[in-house]
């Protein structure tokens, strides 16, 4: 059982890496799910944390190489959000290396798979150590609520 990893991939540089990986027949676990976004600037702290809330053991932000953003958006925004999210995770006691930012050259499928596997290895390492906790998925409607006012 591989840990669940969510990859936010930008439609351009990021997605190209994933397609390349598929075309090259490179394998990575099925527990890695990909969410396509138009640009990594679309991804904010809330989305990252929600991924962890809903049960991701790791999150990767996969986008265009620095300076090569398809929309010429400064990657300052995503770096900001990434730093913020890591701070929050650290304060929450969740190992911050569960969140990685991979700004890769386009079509670099191999690099992508390497990064993903590195992330998975890191997750597995810390699951067994006593420092970090695995985040459980948010329980669904199993708390009976008595509405007192």
The Cα–Cα gap between 65 and 13 comes to 7
Specify which residues 56 forms β-bridges with.
none
Q: Which stretch binds other proteins (CB under 8 A): 13-21, 98-106, 118-126, 135-143?
A: 135-143
Q: Which two tokens stand for residue 79?
A: 């770096």
Q: Per CB under 8 A, does 93 bind other proteins?
A: yes
State how far Cα 133 lies from the chain centre.
17
Output 8 or 28, the one with its CB closest to other proteins. Answer: 8
Candidate ranges 14-22, 83-91, 98-106, 112-120; the one touching other proteins (CB under 8 A): 83-91
Using CB under 8 A as the binding rule, whether residue 136 contacts other proteins is answered as yes
Interface region with other proteins, contact rule CB under 8 A, candidates 23-31, 64-72, 81-89, 116-124: 81-89
Pairing status of strand 58-64 against strand 32-37: unpaired
Number of residues that bind other proteins (CB under 8 A): 30
The answer to whether the CB of 90 falls within 8 A of the CB of 39 is: no
149 binds other proteins (CB under 8 A): yes
Q: How far apart are the C-alpha atoms of 24 and 30, rounded to whole Å? A: 16
Those residues whose C-beta lies under 8 Å from the C-beta of residue 100, and which sit 6 or more positions away, are 58, 59, 60, 61, 115, 119
Between 25 and 138, CB nearer to other proteins: 138
Residues that bind other proteins (CB under 8 A): 44-47, 49-50, 52-53, 80, 84, 87-88, 90-94, 133, 135-136, 138-139, 141, 143-149
């Amino acid at each position: 059982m591989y840990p669940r990893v969510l990859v936010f991939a930008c439609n351009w540089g990021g997605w190209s890496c994933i397609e390349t990986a598929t075309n090259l027949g490179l394998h990575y676990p099925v527990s890695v799910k990909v969410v396509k976004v138009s640009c990594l600037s679309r991804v904010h702290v809330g989305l990252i944390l929600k991924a962890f809330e809903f049960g991701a053991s790791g999150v990767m932000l996969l986008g265009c190489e620095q300076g090569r953003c398809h929309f010429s958006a400064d990657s300052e925004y995503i770096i900001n959000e990434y730093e913020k999210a890591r701070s929050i995770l650290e304060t929450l006691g969740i190992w911050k290396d569960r969140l990685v930012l991979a700004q890769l050259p386009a079509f670099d499928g191999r690099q992508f798979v390497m990064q993903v596997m590195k992330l998975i290895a890191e997750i597995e390492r810390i699951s067994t150590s006593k420092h970090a906790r695995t985040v459980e998925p948010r329980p669904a409607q199993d708390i009976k609520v008595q509405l007192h006012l």
